[in-house]
Amino acid sequence: MQIFTYSQEMSPTTPDSAAQASWSRPTPSSASQSAATQWKDVDVISLGRRVRHLRKSAGLTLDELGAAVGAAASQLSLIENGKREPKLGLLQQLAGALGVGVDALLGAEPPSRRAALEIELERYQRSPLYESLNLPKIRISSRTPLDVLEAQLGLLRELERKLNEQVATPEEARRANGELRRMMRERGNYFPEYEAEAQKVLTAVGYAGGPLSQHLISDIARHLGFTLQHVGDLPHSTRSVTDLKNRRIYLTHNQRSDHDPRSVLLQALGHYVLGHETPSSYGDFLAQRVATNYFAAALLLPEHTTVEFLQQAKARKEISVEDLRDAFAVSYETAAHRFTNLATRHLGITTHFQKTHQSGIIYKAYENDGVNFPMDHTGAIEGQPACKAWTSRAVFDVPDKFSSYSQYTDTVNGTFWCTARTERSSGGEFSLSVGVPYQHVKWFRGRETTARATSRCPDPACCRRPPAELSDHWAGSAWPSARAHSHLLAAMPPGAFPGVDETEVYAFLEAHSGA
């Protein structure tokens, strides 16, 4: 049964050949592509083995084939061993000398079972997995016994399977997240391809402006060929479950959720619209999560109307995340995220965002304005403590929780203005903060604030190291019992669907399949 689930938590995933749910559209077969198109994606290992197979079938030596195409035997040997990519002209000469078309040399299927084994083993030996083992490479030739190829491949396949079963480490997750954030920073957190897909959907259902109603969202699901089912027994590890077999999306009846039910549905549809396949790595999973979140936000706050709203606010020097939230009937967090998508591209404003827990730990962050977020050696920001002088920390102590709190902060990277407010969820109280460098503050409501702080972080004396008088008085006389953050030690769940109990999901779908 084909499914796609949207999980509660961010967890790593590993490939599962038995559950490869694909959202991809059909693509042209290799046979229908031109030789020039195929040439762009040539597999030099497969090509080399095919040339060798055809040469031997023709009874030619390397010297004889080289003479026929005007190339040295040593050059052809490198091509056959997948160590050199021939130019298109030489490829055409080889095809002519071997009596086949160019397409035959570029075919996807290996010419024989032995060639298939040789290709697979060569790919393994060139992979990061094999490199990490520090083992010598086997020289693959026509004299390598078949049983040696099979035994070596069997060992490598089993090793890869064992590694794929292992859970991702927190460090792997942090590295993948850091790489993704660097890419987002380079693009100004703006993805025109997702904007375009969202606009196609909105145009198809006749969106005319304003907040995206529940009725219009139902029209979107229907337009994409899905029916919606609200149930009371949705698997605990999911926010939605999509049944591709019966074209149904299951959502919960429960309205007491930290997530906007509209966003949950739109994210589920985003996997389909954006053509996602089952993630092959934790990095893939994170990238897909960013993509579907972006797609959902681009539907809830469409680019054209949102940019027009923000440009008008900029002209009045009254940009406000609260106004954006109210105009499109979304959460403050969604409005803040959407502002970061559009601010640099359409307003010429660099910015930063952070979601910080009341304990001071940063849960989400983005920046392209040079603010000095704390980060570990992997480049990860999430999980790091925010400076106590920052707006994201100061807002927790503000008595007025109804209004947003604005503050200027002088940092080692310059002065930044930030506006923040707090929101409660099942995970506790969080602050949501959006900020800009001083030169951009003139466009924002709240710039008249007199609140100001100084941050010297990453200097430990700023807020990490206790003041000397406190240390002198209490050092050696305090023994706190730390609150255990068990989630920091817990293994991240593996599986084709991140953090999801697949047995529970399959049982759920089986129970509802006749509904």
- pLDDT tens profile 294-337: 999 999 999 999 999 999 999 999 999 999 999 999 999 999 99
Give the Cα separation of 405 and 400 in Å (integer): 8
What pLDDT sits at residue 293? 95
Q: What's 353-365 look like in SS3?
A: EEEEECCCEEEEE
Candidate from 184-188, 289-293, 466-470, 497-501 with smallest mean pLDDT: 497-501
Tell me, yes or no, if the pTM score tops 0.75. no
pLDDT digits (tens, 9 = 90+) for 59-85: 899 999 999 999 998 888 888 888 888
Q: In what order do the strands lie in the sheet with 3-7?
A: 3-7, 238-243, 248-252, 227-231
Distant-in-sequence, close-in-space partners of 354: CB < 8 Å, separation ≥ 6: 362, 364, 365, 366, 373, 386, 392, 431, 432, 433
Percent of the chain beyond pLDDT 90?
41
Confidence (pLDDT) at 379:
75
Higher pLDDT, 491 or 236: 236
Q: For the segment 446-461, what is each residue's pLDDT rounded down to a tens digit?
A: 999 999 999 999 898 8
Res 29 pLDDT > 50: no
Residue 331 CA: distances (Å) to CA of 179, 261, 326, 328, 358: 27, 11, 8, 9, 19
On the question of pLDDT at 290 being above 70, the answer is yes
For residues 32 and 107, give the distance between their C-alpha atoms in angstroms, rounded to a whole number.
11
Query: Kind and range of the H or E element at 415?
Result: strand 414-425
> Which range has highest mean pLDDT (138-147, 161-170, 444-453)?
444-453
**Peptide bond before 458: cis, by omega within 30 degrees of 0?**
yes
How does DSSP classify residue 110?
A: -
Pairing of strands 227-231, 248-252: parallel
* Pairing of the two strands 362-367 and 405-411: unpaired
Token reading at 85: 């990519």
Amino acid at 404: S
- Predicted confidence (pLDDT) per residue in 344-366, tens digit: 999 999 999 999 999 999 999 99
CB 22 within 8 A of CB 278: yes
Summary mean pLDDT of the chain:
83
| Amino acid at position 79, single letter | I
What pLDDT is stored for residue 435 in this prediction? Answer: 97
Residue 25's pLDDT band, with cuts at 50, 70 and 90, is very low
Strand partners, 420: 405, 433
Using alpha carbons, select from 168, 186, 266, 258 the residue that is nearest to residue 218.
266
Say how far apart CA 441 and CA 298 lie, in whole Å: 25
Quick one: pLDDT band at residue 499, thresholds 50, 70, 90?
low
